[in-house]
Structure 1
Amino acid sequence: MQNPFAGGGIWLRTSGDEALAGPISPENLASCHPLWAADVARLAPWREVELGPQYGPAAGRWLAALGPGAAAANAVLLVGPCTSSLDVAWELAGAGCLPPFASVVAVSQKQGRGQMRRNWISPPGNLYAALAWPGATGNLAAMAPVLVGACLSAALYDRGFPSRVKWPNDLLAGDRKIGGILLEERAGRIMAGIGINFASAPDAALLRRDHAAPAASLQVFGEVPGAVTLWSELVKSGQTCYLQCVALSDTNAVSRFVEQHLAWLGREVFVRESETDGFRARIIGLAEDGGLRLRHIDTGPGQDLTLHSGSISLL
């Protein structure tokens, strides 16, 4: 069975199994937020495509965008309210309908999830995407969380946003959190759940008490042309970046690339491992397996270590 989304493009799901995701029309999409309205204007006109039951969870009615903003080498599948874009993506991937670098973008999520399964606040206007990431082995697989972040950070930086990736999986701009990444792996497949505050950021009162950085909207740092417009550009640039890293065939070179986009490199941070009291250290780089290389501040010279799990916050 041929994958209907193999040719890329922007797709809008207007009917189908509502247990998977709610339907949405171009008019509904435009009414959700001005960023979506800007996209709808660029994506029109639309061509209706009916997918039969042989496509499993993808069955239903879709609209394929034909307008000037519809060109996308990797399919972007827009869906209405759902539990999370990751849930939808895994269902579609299981049916063979989500090739590498294709993505699901939800208008809003009811149970979006972040690191440590924390709830991800998901109002309309921001990005809630699940990106099919290529499978990898060895150090490249271990480095995947921070590599996804570095590729996206590089793409945002190229578009004028002062973005950096905070180890292991947050996106910062000006030391403020603009997004986060959650990787899930099943049977050798990887999905990257990506949330970016395109239009709004959670109020400080809604953040957990020990949050590492205050939240901010991307619009504070520059113009967002449209949610789908910017996202499809980020995916294209991220794919190019990833393929260049793979072509290097050298995890040391890949870790040096990530370091170029690593937040707080050379700065002092407070480190927590599990429930320990924590300690002060300076970030000195990234290990080839994706661990964060640190230098103890309190225990004298030569006390270097590599952090593989834990959290950091700026001193």
Structure 2
Amino acid sequence: MNPESSSARAALDPLPLHELAAQLRLGFIKVLATSGSTNTELAQLASSGAAGHLSVLFSEHQQQGKGRLGREWVTPAGSAITVSVLASPGTAMEPQSLTWYTMLAALAWSQAVEELAPVKARIKWPNDLLAGDRKICGILAQLVQTPQGFAVVVGTGFNVDQEASELPVATATSLRLASGARVDRGELLAEYLRRFTALDAAFRAVGGRSTAPLAEYADLSLRDLVAARLATLDQEVRVEFPDGSQLLGRAVQLAEDGALVVEKAPGQSQRILAGDVHHVRRADGKYA
């Protein structure tokens, strides 16, 4: 790591984030130096009633972060964004609509990235964000029971400033590597929260219906908005299941419940739910 990298990794100033919390009417923003897992800690606060809708927990250094399949995710301090947001809409939508918050968060991140960097960010079903054909961000959603009903904690691990030698796998990248320039982590986090809260408000306004037109988004639905950025669609894919079996086909549609529809042969398709799969990769072996 060069000296310039080290000097660029100062801790976030919490004051602008607290001002943003007031502006966006968030439940709270807590900025921690270290955390075992922001998802676990925010879920505990939500379950006890100590965290309400749109509460945010950010950690400079997450020590026990996990991905969707339980993989460890640890980064150099100050090089990434590790943040969890609580969506607790109460009676505004049915609990099954909460499954869309992984895609809603991915959409918010993609919008935020393109606002601040010359990078086209695309969504990889079911829970990643890509820059090119490399993973830049992973998202993990966790359903929780709160005093107000079911809610979801949406955690993100976003690679912002890592060098290639600091990335865990060859299929990963960072925003710095993808854009060729540094992006301020505080600005990126703030833009993400603006986009997330706007999408959340629009989604709640239509009762959590993924196909309902959103007035604030040119009457496109949440499903429309996600599908337009979904790198997985129109690709030949290999779906790997936990039992070792595989499905080869073409990803042709994002279903109303967020399932991926894969066409195995003309006129023969299968719906794939995120919780049922181990991996979904392109059939040519590329990550995207």
Q: TM-score, normalised by structure 2?
A: 0.77
The CA distance in 1 between the partners of 2:18 and 2:188, in whole Å, is 11
Q: Tell me which residue corresponds to 1:236.
A: 194
Partner Cα distance (2:167, 2:17) in 1: 41
How many aligned residue pairs are there? 252
Greater Cα offset, 270-279 or 183-192: 270-279
Q: Distance in 2 between matches of 1:162 and 1:113?
A: 26
What is the CA–CA distance in structure 1 between the aligned matches of 2:183 and 2:204, rounded to whole Å?
Answer: 30
Q: Deviations over 1:25-74 (max 9, x none)?
A: xxxxxx9762435x44xx6xxxxxxxxxxxxxxxxxxxxx2x69944423
Structure with greater Cα Rg: 1
Residue 155 of structure 1 and its aligned partner are, at CA, apart by 2.8
Q: Could you list the per-position Cα deviations for residues 123-146 of structure 1 after superposition, in whole angstroms to 9, with x for gaps in the alignment? A: 212111111123442552232322
Paired letter, 2:108: C
The separation in 2 between residues aligned to 1:171 and 1:137, in whole angstroms, is 26
Q: 1:239 to 1:256 in 2, by over 3 A?
A: same
Q: Quick one: which of 76, 101, 108 aligns to 1:123?
A: 76
RMSD of Structure 2 on Structure 1 (CA): 2.8
Report the 3-state secondary structure (helix = DSSP H, G, I; strand = E; otherwise coil) of the residue aligned with 2:34.
Answer: coil
Contact 2:175 2:183 in 1 (8 A): no
Which deviations, in whole Å up to 9, do the C-alpha atoms of 1:68-100 show, x marking residues without a partner? 994442343211122111233234434544332
| Ranges in structure 2 where 5+ consecutive residues have no aligned partner | 212-220
Q: 186-195 vs 150-159, which deviates more? A: 150-159
Question: Is the Cα–Cα contact under 8 Å of residues 112 and 188 in structure 2 kept in the other structure?
Answer: no
Measured in 1, the distance between the counterparts of 2:40 and 2:164 equals: 23
Q: Deviations over 1:177-226 (max 9, x none)?
A: 0011111112112111110001116759944xxxxx81000112334442
CA distance in structure 2 between the aligned counterparts of 1:258 and 1:68, rounded to whole angstroms? 27
The whole-number CA distance in structure 2 between the counterparts of 1:177 and 1:122 is 15
One-letter code aligned to 1:228: G
2:203 is paired with a residue of what secondary structure? Answer: helix
Tell whether 2:8 aligns with 1:34: yes
Q: CA deviation at 1:107?
A: 0.9
State the alpha-carbon separation in 2 of the partners of residues 204 and 279 from structure 1. Answer: 33
Query: Residue 82 of structure 1 is aligned with which of 35, 44, 67?
Result: 35
> How do 1:157-176 residues align onto structure 2 when only pairs under 5 Å count?
157-160=114-117, 161-176=119-134
Q: Deviations over 1:279-306 (max 9, x none)?
A: 321111210011011112xxx3111111
Mapped pair 1:265 → 2:233: yes
Shift of 1:235: 0.7
Please give the alpha-carbon distance, in whole angstroms, between the structure 1 residues aligned to 2:17 and 2:191: 14
Q: 1:293 to 1:157 in 2, by over 3 A?
A: farther
Q: Is the 8 A contact 1:103 1:130 kept in 2?
A: yes
Query: How far apart are the structure 2 equivalents of 1:227 and 1:291?
Result: 32
Mapped contact 2:17–2:190 kept (Cα < 8 A): no
Provide the rounded CA distance (Å) in 1 between the counterparts of 2:251 and 2:160: 28
**TM-score for both structures, normalised by structure 1:** 0.71
Unaligned runs of 5+ in 1: 1-30, 44-64, 208-212
Distance 1:121 1:240, change over 3 A: same
- Cα pair 1:204 1:214 within 8 Å, conserved: no
Candidates 95, 110, 113, aligned match of 1:153: 110
Mapped to 2, the partners of 1:122 and 1:262 lie a distance apart of: 26
Pair 1:108–1:33, CA change in 2 (3 A): farther
Match of 2:151 in 1: 189
Q: Which residue of 1 aligns with 2:94?
A: 137
Per the alignment, do residues 235 and 180 of structure 1 end up closer, same or farther by CA in structure 2, a change over 3 Å counting?
A: same
2:228 & 2:151 partners in 1: Cα distance? Answer: 27
- After the TM superposition, which of the residue ranges 94-103 and 179-188 deviates more from structure 2? 94-103
